[in-house]
Amino acid sequence: MQRLDAAVVGAGAAGIGMALALQKVPGLKFGVLEAGRVGESFRRWPAQARFITPSFHSNPFGLADLNAVNEPSSPAIHTGAEHPSGPQYAEYLSFIARGHELPVATDCKVAAVGAVPGGGFILDTPRGRLQAGFLIWATGEFQFPDLAPFPGAQWCPHYAQVADWTRFQASRYTVIGGYESGVDAAVNLAGLGREVRLLARKSTWDPQGSHDPSLSLSPYSRQRLYQAIDTGRLEIVFGVDVIGLTRDAAGGFRIHAGDGRYWDEKAAPILGTGFLKGGGARQVAELWDWDEDGRVVLSDADESTITPGLFLAGPQVRQEQRIYCFIYKFRQRYALIARRIGLCLDRDTTALETGAGAWGPFGNSECCEGCEC
Amino acid sequence: MQRLDAAVVGAGAAGIGMALALQKVPGLKFGVLEAGRVGESFRRWPAQARFITPSFHSNPFGLADLNAVNEPSSPAIHTGAEHPSGPQYAEYLSFIARGHELPVATDCKVAAVGAVPGGGFILDTPRGRLQAGFLIWATGEFQFPDLAPFPGAQWCPHYAQVADWTRFQASRYTVIGGYESGVDAAVNLAGLGREVRLLARKSTWDPQGSHDPSLSLSPYSRQRLYQAIDTGRLEIVFGVDVIGLTRDAAGGFRIHAGDGRYWDEKAAPILGTGFLKGGGARQVAELWDWDEDGRVVLSDADESTITPGLFLAGPQVRQEQRIYCFIYKFRQRYALIARRIGLCLDRDTTALETGAGAWGPFGNSECCEGCEC
């Protein structure tokens, strides 16, 4: 049975970034286990989807690329794009993994995880059983969409299941959800000439409303939304809490809102309703404590409060008011976790400590209250 | 005669940013003299022009907005735009100036500057004569276009003179210059349905070419250029060194290249040929030493090498291989200059020193060789 000091599950932005941090601990034996390819979730993005945070190559002047997983690299340089596509970003991650010779095992889906009493973990993989002293769960959220936000949702394609918006050939669609994925779906469909109705609980882009970036659309999405509105093909209905979907005899759909309103649509509505709370952490649900909102409870070091040695990395990490939902947020936690592991093993963590705060001078302020992604 | 410890000339990004740094020196008496309004140059941008560096509100997580003039503010939040327009950015600067109660005198064009033997400066302004111990020249470059790059250029509108591309009503245009302003002109005209010929010395966007951001178009411009090419209305001719323009009897124009090629055009060609070397520093040309390339020679602290107490702030600052041509670059020099002035006056510069490196962890690396903006 192979033994590792630390195993990382998932080779997306969180997994690759964590591996880079672990690599800074001399002598640490670690590996990354990935069910698919490096950046698999990104490769499965809709063809038209782009990063909503801009990439720019300002590293030489002290500002890391917002979407980079380490300080010196830049997706803007690697992809030539300010808003990389999913496949472009996956290629960037693959490039980083190759360049740093990270020990990534692809096509290596972890089938079972057991926490060993007294410490450590046993992982069953296609390549055999593996023992790891520490386990870092970094399986993201994109592959864990919420497919059942209301009764009848099973008829609806979810944003995360869409390969290419050009395959949506009906003349009109209803999109449910006013945050990033719903707006992206609506914008892409309107851009392709479809008539689109967007049902949203509230405006996330009101120029008179909150300018808190965590409560409102990214500037990139906002701008694209305005352009879509300008086409005249996008109708937005606010204050809609969809509570169910029914089918009529002709095969059409009726969308029901909590206030009694309804809309009829021939094509199945599209779910831009987000992802399961906890995301990939649900794969090992019994190893975490869950709060009443359905979120993973973590220690200050992003460690499970009930399974010592198990850490969470990625967009599901929350610390009080801080939600680490974008790469530029959650990458700040890589060094924290790697340092904790290194110290437990009595290794030299100097390289991580000199890098502490490496993502910027303001540290991790308290001013991101009410973040919602 | 009013006496100041330090005067800043210009209330653009460099002037406002410098004022914020000077404000951190307790007891320093300073003022900002602006010929027009706060952000005047930005207000004069073409209506369609946008920042080529993306704004994003990542400050709370340790990464300053690329286009901000101080650490905590964000043009992305203030304007709601990722790529603000000139007027939007000017409003952001005005907001900062008001919020920090900066001592800015607008409509106050400095008519003459004299260096006092033994130290200090005398400035003639519409509000009277002013004495300043230190002088920071921050008048930018946009209002100092190179209007005579070749004989006949006097017939051509220069990018910096264009108020709105919709006023260009001819069916086709030739744009001269393949860097940011030339490409922006071509992209905007093509977007308005005009046929455009872009004459460029070399490709600044070749995906197979250099990925050095300083040698190539910003990702934002590159993407827009690709879109313009896709319209079929943009023809690009490479390897063109325009050496002159002549007029024919019918009032048309003939553009001559150094290799003997020429192009005839009914409408006057548009100059995307950049700005005068030295930019606004030329307004007080005799107070600087100039190198053989026509650029201002500066000390390590951005001080004139022949006029002690005179500093340069803004996109014309160069230090060996480093060209501080974007806001996120030249803002790194604010604290340096303010600290130098504070120390000369024996003031407490602690607030500046704790802010040293505040723009990022990597400092001011050497890796930006060959920057060209």
3-state secondary structure of B65: coil
Q: Are residues A290 and A339 in the same domain?
A: yes
Test B362 with A222 for CB contact under 8 angstroms.
Answer: no
Q: Are residues B264 and B290 in the same domain?
A: no
A184-198, A245-259, B59-73: which range is least confident on average? B59-73
A203, pLDDT greater than 90? no
A76-87 pLDDT per residue, tens:
989 989 999 999
B362, pLDDT greater than 60? no
Residues of B with CB under 8 A from a CB of A: 53-64, 66, 71-72, 76-78, 80-83, 207, 211, 213, 218-220, 222-223, 328-329, 332, 357-365, 367-368
Chain B residues closer than 8 Å to A71 by CB: 361-362
| Cα atoms found within 13 Å of the Cα of residue B116, Cβ hemisphere only | 12
Q: Are residues B205 and B113 in the same domain?
A: no
pLDDT over 90 for what percent of chain B?
Answer: 82
Measured distance CA(A196)–CA(A194) in Å, rounded: 6
B77-122 pLDDT per residue, tens:
899 899 999 999 999 999 999 999 999 999 999 999 999 999 999 9
CA distance B34 to chain A (A): 28
Average confidence (pLDDT) over B280-299:
96
CA distance B302 to chain A (A): 17
Q: Specify the pLDDT at position A357.
A: 47
* Boundary-marking domain end, from A231, A247, A271: A271
A116-158 pLDDT per residue, tens:
999 999 999 999 999 999 999 999 999 999 999 999 999 999 9
pLDDT over 90 for what percent of chain A?
Answer: 82
Average confidence (pLDDT) over A246-267:
96
Chain B residues closer than 8 Å to A68 by CB: none
Q: Which two tokens stand for residue B343?
A: 């120390």
Chain A residues closer than 8 Å to B95 by CB: none
Test A362 with B62 for CB contact under 8 angstroms.
Answer: yes
Chain B residues closer than 8 Å to A82 by CB: 54, 218-220, 223
* Boundary-marking domain end, from A271, A294, A313: A271
Strand stretches in B60-177, DSSP E: 104-105, 112-115, 121-125, 128-137, 172-176
Which member of B72, B222, B359 has the closest CB to residue A63? B359
Measured distance CA(A19)–CA(A30) in Å, rounded: 8
Q: Specify the pLDDT at position A310.
A: 98
Measured distance CA(B149)–CA(B258) in Å, rounded: 13
A66, pLDDT greater than 70? yes
Mean pLDDT of chain B: 91
B8-25 pLDDT per residue, tens:
999 999 999 999 999 999
Q: Are residues A19 and A134 in the same domain?
A: yes
Q: Count other Cβ atoms within 10 Å, centred on residue A225.
A: 22
Test B58 with A55 for CB contact under 8 angstroms.
Answer: no
Strand order in the sheet with B234-237: B234-237, B195-199, B172-176, B270-271
Chain B residues closer than 8 Å to A218 by CB: 56, 82
3-state secondary structure of A203: coil
A51-60, A196-205, A352-361, B323-332: which range is least confident on average? A352-361
CA distance A283 to chain B (A): 29
A321, pLDDT greater than 90? no
Mean pLDDT of chain A: 91
Assess if residue B370 is contained within a domain. Answer: no
Q: Angle, nearest 10°, between helix axes B180-191 and B219-230?
A: 40
- Whether the CB-CB separation of B185 and B272 falls below 8 Å is answered with yes
The type of residue at A228 is: A
Test A63 with B64 for CB contact under 8 angstroms.
Answer: yes
Assess if residue A148 is contained within a domain. Answer: no
A15-31 pLDDT per residue, tens:
999 999 999 999 999 99
Q: Specify the pLDDT at position B60.
A: 78
Which member of B82, B219, B361 has the closest CB to residue A71? B361
pLDDT over 70 for what percent of chain A?
Answer: 92
The type of residue at A115 is: A
Assess if residue A360 is contained within a domain. Answer: no
Q: Specify the pLDDT at position B216.
A: 77
Assess if residue A52 is contained within a domain. Answer: yes
Q: Are residues A8 and A134 in the same domain?
A: yes
3-state secondary structure of B287: helix
Q: Are residues A17 and A66 in the same domain?
A: yes
Test B329 with A57 for CB contact under 8 angstroms.
Answer: no
Write out the H or E segment, with its range, that includes residue B95: helix B86-99
Of A323 and B372, the one with more pLDDT: A323
Residues B163, B169, B175, B181, CA torsion sign? positive
Chain B residues closer than 8 Å to A359 by CB: 61-63, 361
Q: Are residues B25 and B94 in the same domain?
A: yes
| ipTM field | 0.88
Assess if residue B33 is contained within a domain. Answer: yes
pLDDT band at A215 (very low <50, low <70, confident <90, very high): low
CA distance B137 to chain A (A): 22
Q: Which residue of A has its CA nearest to B80?
A: A219
Q: Which two tokens stand for residue A234?
A: 């996008």
B169, pLDDT greater than 70? yes
Assess if residue A258 is contained within a domain. Answer: yes
pLDDT band at A295 (very low <50, low <70, confident <90, very high): very high
Of A352 and A14, the one with more pLDDT: A14
Q: Are residues A18 and A91 in the same domain?
A: yes
Q: Which residue of B has its CA nearest to A328?
A: B61
B21-44 pLDDT per residue, tens:
999 999 999 999 999 999 999 999
Strand order in the sheet with B253-257: B242-247, B253-257, B262-265
Assess if residue B40 is contained within a domain. Answer: yes
B150, pLDDT greater than 70? yes
Q: Which residue of B has its CA nearest to A71?
A: B362
Q: Which residues are registered as beta bridge partners of A123? A: A113, A130
B55, pLDDT greater than 90? yes
Q: Which residue of A has its CA nearest to B223?
A: A81
The residue behind tokens 């309804």 is A262
Residues B226, B231, B233, B235, CA torsion sign? positive
Q: Specify the pLDDT at position A62.
A: 76
Question: Per the structure, how many domains does chain B have?
Answer: 2
Q: Which residue of B has its CA nearest to A371?
A: B60
Range of the domain at A260: 153-271
Test B60 with A367 for CB contact under 8 angstroms.
Answer: yes
Measured distance CA(B49)–CA(B163) in Å, rounded: 10
Dihedrals phi, psi of B247, to nearest 5 degrees: -110, 145
CA distance B322 to chain A (A): 10
Q: Are residues A6 and A136 in the same domain?
A: yes
Test A77 with B211 for CB contact under 8 angstroms.
Answer: yes
A368, pLDDT greater than 70? no
| Of B318, B369, B280, nearest in space to B12 by CA | B280
Q: B138-163: buried (b, 16+ CB within 10 Å) or exposed (e) per residue? A: bbbbbbbbebebbebbeebbbbbebe
- Whether the CB-CB separation of B200 and B212 falls below 8 Å is answered with no
Q: Specify the pLDDT at position A363.
A: 37
Average confidence (pLDDT) over B250-267:
96
The type of residue at A205 is: W
The residue behind tokens 């992809």 is A79
B373, pLDDT greater than 80? no
Q: Are residues B65 and B166 in the same domain?
A: no
Q: Are residues A251 and A336 in the same domain?
A: no
Test B80 with A219 for CB contact under 8 angstroms.
Answer: yes
Test B218 with A60 for CB contact under 8 angstroms.
Answer: no
Test A207 with B78 for CB contact under 8 angstroms.
Answer: no
B64, pLDDT greater than 60? yes
Which residues lie below 8 Å from residue B53, measured CB to CB, with a gap of 6+? Answer: A56, A58, B66, B67, B218, B220, B326, B327, B328
B370, pLDDT greater than 50? no
Assess if residue B368 is contained within a domain. Answer: no
Q: Which residue of B has its CA nearest to A325?
A: B61
B352, pLDDT greater than 90? no
pLDDT band at A271 (very low <50, low <70, confident <90, very high): very high
Test A59 with B357 for CB contact under 8 angstroms.
Answer: no
Average confidence (pLDDT) over B204-229:
76
Measured distance CA(B19)–CA(B362) in Å, rounded: 25
Whichever domain contains B105, its CATH number is 3.50.50.60
Give the number of beta-carbon pairs within 8 Å between A and B. 132
B59, pLDDT greater than 90? no
Tell me the DSSP string of B154-214: GGSPBGGG-S-GGG--SSEEEEE--SHHHHHHHHHHHHTT-EEEEE-SS-S--TTS---TT
pLDDT band at A364 (very low <50, low <70, confident <90, very high): very low
Q: Which residue of B has its CA nearest to A81?
A: B219
Burial class, A341, CB count within 10 angstroms (exposed 0-12 / middle 13-18 / buried 19+): buried
Dihedrals phi, psi of A133, to nearest 5 degrees: -70, -40
Test B332 with A76 for CB contact under 8 angstroms.
Answer: no
Test B61 with A329 for CB contact under 8 angstroms.
Answer: yes
Test B56 with A54 for CB contact under 8 angstroms.
Answer: yes
Q: Are residues A308 and A235 in the same domain?
A: no
Apex B170 CA angle, B168 and B175, nearest 5? 70
Average confidence (pLDDT) over B214-233:
88
Q: Angle, nearest 10°, between helix axes B86-99 and B13-22?
A: 20
Residues of A with CB under 8 A from a CB of B: 53-64, 66, 71-72, 76-78, 80-82, 207, 211, 213, 218-220, 222-223, 328-329, 332, 357-365, 367-368
Of A60 and B72, the one with more pLDDT: B72
If you compute the radius of gyration of chain A from its CA atoms, what whole number of angstroms results? 21
3-state secondary structure of A189: helix
Count helices and strands in chain A by DSSP H and E runs: 9, 18
B6, pLDDT greater than 70? yes
Of B61 and B239, the one with more pLDDT: B239
Test B81 with A220 for CB contact under 8 angstroms.
Answer: no
Q: Specify the pLDDT at position B211.
A: 52
